Amino acid sequence: MVNKKLTLLSTLAIASMTMTSLSPSLPLLWQDSQLTAVLAQESEDEIPDYQEDFFQAVNKEYLDSFEMAPDEISVGVNDELDANVEKELKTMLADLDSGKREAKTKEEEQLINYYRLVNDFEGRDKAGAEPLKTYFEEIEGLKDPADLTSKMSHWIESTLPLPFAVYATPGLEDPNTNELMIGSGNLILPDTAYYEEGNADGLALMDVYKESSIKLLEAMGYSHEDAEKHVQNTIDYDKLMASYRTPSEERMNTSDNIFPTSLEDAKKLTDDFGLMDAVTELVGQTPEKINVDDQKFSAGLKDMMSPDHFDQLKSWMLVNLANSATGSLSEELRLIGSEYDMAKSGAEEAKPKDKAAYEDVIYTFSDVVGNAYGEEFFGEEARQDVRDLTNDIIDMYKERLKNNEWLSEGTREKAIEKLDKMGVMVGYGDNYNKNTPDYVIDPEKSLYENVLGMAKVDQINSLKDIGQAVAEDQWEMAPFEVNAYYNPTENLICLPAGILQEPFFSENQSDSQNYGGIGNVIGHELTHAFDTSGAEFDAEGVFTNWWTDEDYKAFEDRTQKMIAQFDGYEIHGGKVDGKQTLNENVADNGGLTVALEALKRKDNPDFKEYFETYAKTWAVKLREEYAKMSLTTDEHGPVEVRVDVPVRNFDEFYEAFGIKEGDPMYMKPEDRIIFW
């Protein structure tokens, strides 16, 4: 299933951006006049020169050819590639359903069962909110905090709402063994910054949340009065949670999200509500190694779980349960449940139900669908080609580190060791993820109960994993996704088949194009091993300091220069935060450097083609609301900035496009940096 918990991975791009898709040939069902006007006006604009705005020079015509459908929040290359995948996957799923294609594994049989349940719109409409009834009753039946404490293990096992989560996580000092994580619950607003005094976006979003949640509870059978009371309690409780959350700018690195805690301290924090007893019961023994993801939040749990807030907590549970379930219920409830997400992203309509159903199926069974897709449409030969290309980039990276002039020899060797031991996953998995074989879909039960059943499998297995070896070869991204990641505790990069399409990669593209495309993605992910987060982990994924003080000081000086390149860049009605986007910007800089140098070893490198392909891989246009929100919530900068700023560091770029002093794309040599 899609991992909804805090992820510690460094990705290429924000995940939700890639989960939307748009075929350019889709008819426009409904047009927002304002948006159309903006698009029309922009279409009339001249395409700028390379010297003026490189991103627009390469991508404007392409991006202007799209019209944003009302339910979409982005258009461009990712969406086109998603649409390619969608065409194949829809056929595959329909053929499995009709029997034209035979299920090859028992997991594919479960996939078909799930597909049928999700697409049984009539059955879902008929059931309405009925599948939630027993869970509402359980929450409403809670008498007092002691009652909840006595039911804590049941509550955790059943994945009923709680303001915290418990699950297995690789240890900082021993990344091969799972430890217990006590994680913070999700807040309503997209980021802690939205809770700051006078944040207008936060207030506006909360109004939408309030209104849609009241409507939802009413549609589920609550009186208007009760619905209002529960939702107001929920908002008050959410504010309490937010007050204990460490601001996100202080949680940038992996190690800012894992704090080892003694059993004694964990007990002190949670004994009032019986957490460690419940966990011990579910794990089968008392976990020896315990972590929290936010020390301020875990210190606040006592208060959040206290009798003072018990009524608020109960309401919060009800409203959370209702909101989290809408995607698996009737069409009426799904649409109400979409309203808040639409307010965040700026989408004007909810996704059509067949599209929402399609995405539900492919992301719930992402490894089953993805491995079949990868085998059929990507294949072993292409996989080997990408592995070869990856090794070429790794070789060049090692070469550069060997010749690095600002690190001492010992640190250089440690860095090279990280590359020697780098894990590489390409295309798709050969096996399913570890929980998938345990998913059993019961066609006699409702869709929601089946979803909950899978969530229970995930929860129970996760707790059983504590104290056990961390499973290898787990795909933490769907193989069909147009994205990639680096995992610091496994020292591993993953390149899903979804991103191994043109313009990123094709056997028909030139070397200059493939290195400008996937070569950069590979270099980007490898560089995450050497950004401020990756720098804290060694070749084995152990959290340790492998730097001399002097070398780390030199590293930090370079990050300052990097921050300065981006900080304050004005775009989308806001400004880029140089610190928030630092690691991604370092990764882009490293990717461009190493892929360019590797390309130079090939016959007839074409730098123009190289930089143009790089720009094309970022040809994406977001809705303004979504783009503005991402300035606060996303560690990745806006795509326009990720193209126009990093390319200015390279002499080859200036030569290829004739950029001179005085041109808007020009950057003074003393401000440029080749980070790695």
Q: Provide the minimum distance between the beta carbon of 598 and Zn ion in the complex, in angstroms, as a whole number.
A: 19
Q: Provide the minimum distance between the beta carbon of 475 and Zn ion in the complex, in angstroms, as a whole number.
A: 17
Q: Which is nearer to Zn ion, 330 or 520 (CB)?
A: 520
Residue located via tokens 């200015």: 648
Q: What is the CA radius of gyration of the chain?
A: 25
179 is a catalytic site residue: no
588 is a catalytic site residue: yes
HEC per residue, 312-372: HHHHHHHHHHHHHHHHHCCHHHHHHHHHHHHHHHCCCCCCCHHHHHHHHHHHHCHHHHHHH
Would you call 161 helix, strand, or coil by DSSP? coil
Helix axes 106-118, 353-364, angle to 10 degrees: 160
Q: Which residue is nearest to Zn ion (CB)?
A: 587
Tokens standing for residue 466? 């504590």
569 to 74, 357, 578: CA distances (angstroms): 21, 39, 9
305-313 — which CB contacts under 8 Å span 24+ positions? 305/145, 305/148, 305/163, 305/272, 305/273, 306/145, 306/272, 307/144, 307/145, 309/237, 309/240, 310/144, 310/145, 310/148, 311/233, 312/233, 312/234, 312/236, 312/237, 312/240, 313/163, 313/237
272-277 — which CB contacts under 8 Å span 24+ positions? 272/145, 272/149, 272/302, 272/305, 272/306, 273/145, 273/148, 273/149, 273/152, 273/301, 273/305, 274/149, 274/150, 274/152, 275/152, 275/164, 275/166, 275/182, 277/152, 277/153
Q: Which is catalytic among the residues 293, 360, 502, 525?
A: 525
Q: Which is catalytic among the residues 584, 588, 612, 634?
A: 588
CB under 8 Å to 60, separation ≥6 — which residues? 42, 45, 47, 48
Q: Provide the minimum distance between the beta carbon of 395 and Zn ion in the complex, in angstroms, as a whole number.
A: 21
Of 436, 340, 450, 349, nearest in space to 118 by CA:
450
Residues 9, 614 contacting (CB under 8 angstroms) = no
Q: Measure the CA dihedral 634/180/531/471, to 10°.
A: -100
Would you call 381 helix, strand, or coil by DSSP? helix
Whether residue 605 has a cis bond before it, omega within 30° of 0: no
- Per-residue burial over 456-479, b = 16 or more CB atoms within 10 Å of its CB, e = otherwise: ebbbbebbebbbeebeeebbbbbb
Number of Cβ within a 10 Å radius of residue 601 = 12
Q: Provide the minimum distance between the beta carbon of 526 and Zn ion in the complex, in angstroms, as a whole number.
A: 10
Q: Provide the minimum distance between the beta carbon of 524 and Zn ion in the complex, in angstroms, as a whole number.
A: 6
Of 631, 620, 639, nearest in space to 82 by CA:
620
Q: Which is nearer to Zn ion, 110 or 527 (CB)?
A: 527
Q: Provide the minimum distance between the beta carbon of 327 and Zn ion in the complex, in angstroms, as a whole number.
A: 28
Q: Which is nearer to Zn ion, 526 or 587 (CB)?
A: 587
Q: Provide the minimum distance between the beta carbon of 422 and Zn ion in the complex, in angstroms, as a whole number.
A: 15
Site of interaction with Zn ion (CB under 5 A): 10, 584, 587
196: phi then psi, degrees, rounded to nearest 5: -65, 145
Q: Which is nearer to Zn ion, 22 or 478 (CB)?
A: 478
Residues 359, 334 contacting (CB under 8 angstroms) = no
Active site positions, annotated: 525, 588
